[in-house]
Amino acid sequence: MRHIPNILSMFRIIIVPFFLYFYWHNNVSFIVFGFSLFLIATITDFLDGYIARKYNFQSALGEFLDPLADKALTFSAFISLPFINKELFPWWAIVIILFRDIFITLLRLWAKYRNTTMRTRMSGKFKTVIQFGFLYLILFLGAFKGYPSWLGTIAREILSNKELIYSLTIFVVIFTVYSGIEYTIKNSKLFS
């Protein structure tokens, strides 16, 4: 029972290449299956955190695996977006989002190396909610846009509203950058 959170984190890491393989496929059924893998992976993210907190299953391996699995899943989802539409999800926006997350992760590692804790911010939690809400929506639309049914029609209709989708992308980028700046300022003691 104690190892379940770590097993779920490992499972999440293993799912990532399969998600990418299926989601980047030309076959609509494969893409939908890839999206289903993404959903399963995010459920394991919730479960491993819940189990670890409820039963106080803390370990050095878990502290390493959980954020690694989270980053692998998030990064793979973001780099999938330009394959849906390069105009709506430009690479420069994806790079900014990934750079922020890499920078804050390195800052956390630096804090751990210095035996200090990083002060968490509410903006970081909002950033995670905003990013995952955005990823669920866009990956869902991308998966079903080629579906020959009413679901495909709705997905294509929403994705064709370029102003709306591009505005959402820019909002996610801006909020991600803002939360990164706030984290950096509030933890500026780490640079002294």
**Can you tell me the mean pLDDT for 130-151?**
94
Neighbours of 57 (CB within 10 A): 16
CA 43 vs. chain centroid, Å, equals 13
**Can you tell me the mean pLDDT for 145-157?**
93
Which residue did the predictor score with more confidence, 164 or 53? 164
- Domain at 4-191, CATH class: mainly alpha
Does an H or E element contain 45, and which?
Answer: helix 28-54
Q: By the 8 A CB rule, do 47 and 107 touch?
A: no
- Rounding to the nearest 10 degrees, give the CA dihedral for residues 38, 64, 182, 90: -40
Q: At CA 158, angle to CA 157 and CA 164, rounded to 5?
A: 135
pLDDT number for residue 1: 63
**Can you tell me the mean pLDDT for 178-189?**
90
Q: Is the predicted pLDDT of residue 95 greater than 70, yes or no?
A: yes
- Amino acid identity of 9? S
pLDDT number for residue 151: 92
Spell out the domain ranges in the chain.
Answer: 4-191
Q: Is the predicted pLDDT of residue 22 greater than 90, yes or no?
A: yes
pLDDT number for residue 114: 86
Q: Is the predicted pLDDT of residue 52 greater than 80, yes or no?
A: no
